[in-house]
Chain A
Amino acid sequence: MKVDHSQPLEYSTEQNRLNILGFWIFLGAEIMLFGTLFTCYFTLVNRTSDGPIGAEIFEITPVLMETFLLLTSSFVIGLGIHAMRLGNKKAMQAFFILTLLLGIGFLAFEITEFITYYEEGATLQTSAFTSILFTTLGTHGAHVSLGLFWGLFIILQVRKRGITPVTANKSFIFSLYWHFLDVVWIFIFTFIYMKGLTQL
């Protein structure tokens, strides 16, 4: 494998560059995926039937907590990549672990939020609105959960194998993924929660 030392480690081999481009294209497909979900959400948001509307079930506190946790984690993983570029393995690992912990915190809040909805009688089957609400949030949540495992695997690999062109490439791509989930969340926060809360 030819290693090009003038480039950052994650870009240093041909395969690495291919991986990064391929992942960007994959993110393009993901944008379409979430774009479709949002479109469906906007189409169905007022079709609440006998069920609650958004403003009746959304609560600002957990949503703000989730937002805070996820946005912070996105910042922290940025620090992690910075540490990786400096070749500081310890700091990198610490930042990655912190990222995942924040991600777990996010999920914990999201799950309790879902439980509250269920207790208030807004279930997956209540109305078209609740169906699409849970599906959109759930798809994002499933991405975060998958990311937790993926991130964990990468931390383990960096620990064992060090910062190599391969692990650096994987870490960098993972950070792209994580930032992307953050961007999606910003849309969720704005167009689902904020818009929903001001509906009354």
Chain B
Amino acid sequence: MGYFSRFAVPHPSPAIYASMIAIAVTVFLIIAGITYFKKWIYLWDGWITTVDHKKIGIMYLISALLMLFRGGVDALMMRAQLAVPDNKLLDSQHYNEVFSTHGVIMVLFMAMPYIMGLMNFVVPLQIGARDVAFPRLNAVSFWLFFMGAMLFNLSFVIGGSPDAGWSSYFPLAGNEFSPHVGTNYYMISIQIAGIGTLMTGINFLTTILKMRAPGMTLMRMPMFTWASLTTCIIIIFAFPVLTIALLMGTMDRLFATKFFTITDGGMDMLWANLFWVWGHPEVYILILPAFGLFSEIIPTFSRRNIYGYTSMVASMVLISFYSFLVWTHHFFTMGQTAYVNSIFSITTMIIAIPTGIKIFNWLFTMWRGRIRFTVPMLYCLAFIPLFTIGGVTGVMLAMSAADYQYHNTMFLVAHFHNVIIPGVVFAVLGASTYYWPKMFGFVLNEKIGKLAFWFLVIGFCLAFFPMYITGLDGQARRMYTYSEDTGFGPWNMVATIGAVCMAISFVLIVYMIYYSIRNAKKEAVSDPWDARNLEWATHTPVPEYNFAIIPQVNSREAFWDAKYKGHPLFKGDYEKIHMPNNSGVPFLMSLFFFALGFGLVFSMWYLAICGLIGVFICMAHRSFEQDHGRYISVEEIKETEAKYGGTHK
């Protein structure tokens, strides 16, 4: 019993036991289902071992949606607890765990993979490439993210969840104040997923720099590709900082080092600094690709080219640079001098300038455009005003003297949800609707999509605008309850109603997918929106080699100009195409990483060492393996292309 008691959840409740049973039943049903329908081989050959960027992208999206559900349940629990004063639904410990996992899951295991998934699917198509620079590494990235997410979610039923917030400040996150394994899960699962993200950054930067179609100069790249490029650069500079911070945090917890302790010279503020040196760029890692997606959708549905291309690019580059110079604004109240605070106040406000430029460019793109109010476009239209409010409240927070009033209140919570939901979530939902036909060959139902959109927008406003008010009145964030006479009650009830609307919207989205799978016309249209960039120049569904002939680019909107100005895109004849082979090793390696992580969380050293050795064996195997890929012959290409009715020329 002694050995297994370490796996016990420290604060069990009926809800947790119920979830344990639910998880066990679901896992059993999935396994039974796959076996019954004889899908194991299909899964293994078609998905688990794949190195195809399109399939990897789709796997990211599916995982992200699952995590959105998990994080959303956390959110509903928090809102249920706060709906009325002096509520007893959750105790303080549970509330702590719920807001901690909510934050981590939404930022690292929902928003990040959602963005990564769209990048995976879209970027190679947009630049006219056949795959990414390192397809095998791409699979490794995905599986590391996936196992990191699984490990993190396991904490809920085995050993207990982290409870020190998504920012996990020390000394609270140290052994003394967080004795159970929850924070170990935090440190290690984010580490595993983070390594995957870093590899994605390197992979896509190389891809974008080196694999663009002939004629696509840097200043002819589509906006989303530009956004991805700047994002990759931020990832490459920011994630190593997180790697080190998590390493030091892990060592403090597992090996009693003295980095962030209060005794023996440790320095808790070092964690706060490292965390935000990564953390602020991280929010821009999320928002820049989202900006890129809006810049794809808005021109398409306005029938206008993007206004101010050069200034769009310049502002993204500036944002990625400034994003490293503002981290202190997250702890203005934590002891720097007024001089230091002022500097960071100013740098923070400066970031709002390039962001504002982008807002105006989108508006000018729509100006005199012929706007079609499709679901993706609705998300863009809602984004602009709502995000602007979020940005303005950001500038309010950026005034360091005033921040003493706002900091760690619901006002701050309202700010960052106000930028992340209309910014990132609207972008990825809009973009999923936009790219859905390219991925799956049919258009999602507009009616249900619009209904879901309205529920989301109204739900969002109801859920978060009241927090600005209660925050200014002093309602602290991360507090599990408040008393009646604070007067926060009614506003919190409104916020909870808003959260329910957002949940309904999520249900509608799932229903929309289900409904469309059953009812949509499955005619494979390759360009359903009359769009402008190369990703729409291929067939639908996209053949594994993407383009039978690599396109020739000689303008910023090559596909548009091919359609309407008669520029030929695909010149020359078919040639045999080199493709990478599938491999099960990335998946296997991620399993070893999982074992390593699980072993570390519970200080089960034998398991950890076995996992580590397994990881090394996979790397050694990769070194010795001779894998020259395979060729798709000209006959095969001709056959495939004929099935699609020929290459568009």
Contact = CB atoms under 8 A, between A and B. Distances in A.
B236 A44 contact: no
Interface residues of B, number: 43
Interface string B602-638: 0000000000000010001001101010000000000
Contacts of B578: 1
A88 interface: no
A101 to B, nearest CB: 20
Given A25-B206, A30-B240, A36-B244, A135 B251 contact: yes
Interface string A109-144: 000000000000000111111111001000000000
Contacts of A150: 623
The bracket for how many chain A residues form the interface is: 35 or more
B240 A49 contact: no
Given A28-B236, A32-B240, A128 B259 contact: yes
A21 B623 contact: no
B259 A18 contact: no
Given A128-B267, A135-B257, A153-B623, A36 B241 contact: yes
Contact of B241 (A32, A43, A135, A166): A32
5 contacts: A30-B240, A44-B267, A125-B258, A131-B248, A131-B259
Task: Report the 8 A-B pairs with minimum CB-CB distance, sorted nearest first.
Answer: A47-B265, A128-B265, A32-B240, A33-B240, A131-B257, A49-B265, A36-B244, A22-B206
B198 A29 contact: yes
Given A36-B241, A157-B623, A48 B265 contact: yes
Contact of B274 (A36, A49, A126, A130): A36
B318 interface: no
A49 B263 contact: yes
B455 interface: no
Contacts of A166: 626
B209 interface: yes
A125 B252 CA distance: 9
Contacts of B573: none
A37 interface: yes
A53 to B, nearest CB: 11
A30 B202 CA distance: 12
A159 interface: no
B266 interface: yes
A48 B202 CA distance: 38
Contacts of B209: 21
Contact of A1 (B236, B251, B628): B628
A51 B236 CA distance: 36
Given A125-B256, A125-B257, A135 B265 contact: no
A104 interface: no
Nearest to A132: B259
Contacts of B206: 18, 21-22, 25
B247 interface: yes
A128 B266 contact: yes
Interface string A150-165: 1001101100010000
A17 B257 contact: no
